[in-house]
Amino acid sequence: MPQDTESAVNENSVTSARITDASDDLSGMDPSCARKYIAQYITALKLQEKESEKLAEELSLWESRATLARSKGAEALALQAEKEVALIRSRKPAVDADIETLKMRIEKMKKQLPILASRVRSVDPYLLEQELLMAAGHLPGDEEKVAVERDLKTLEKDVSTEAALAALKMKMGKSL
């Protein structure tokens, strides 16, 4: 078996195994992760489609080689070429089936995207801030006043902390 055909068979076996083991249920994913997951499937689909095209080209090539060998009377070469034709023909339906499976899974996953997007809650930070201010008894537009109060409370805490630290240092200084 030529090395190109052998590597193609091995590559496709891995892709085929990946297709059957993967899940097309996107529940629990966020929309951006789901899109990336679908993109991986689309990439696998494109690779399988290229592989199918490559197998079709190789099939045509080996069929023409078998015909050429027969016309020149090289039966041994013709038999080897026909073995390659049989090998490629046996592989092509599996690749085409993988393509169809990928297409179905991609469509199924794409249909789940709107559902995932609807589950995501968008939070407007400004609206949330206004709601929190109102819950705390402030009127909308009092953000600046609240910010000043917050800064002043922080300063008051810093001053009380410094005073407590100074008292502790003085107490420790007396005990030494």
Residue pLDDT tens, the chain, 176 long: 444 434 444 444 444 444 545 677 787 788 888 899 999 999 999 999 999 999 999 999 999 999 999 999 999 999 999 999 999 999 999 999 999 999 999 999 988 888 887 777 677 777 777 777 778 776 766 777 777 888 888 889 888 899 999 999 888 887 65
pTM of the model: 0.54
Give yes or no for a contact between 80 and 36, defined as CB atoms under 8 angstroms apart: no
pLDDT at 50: 96
Distance CA 109, CA 111 (A): 5
* DSSP code for 80: H
Q: How many CB atoms sit inside 10 A of residue 96's CB?
A: 16
| Alpha helices (H) along 72-142 | 75-119, 125-135
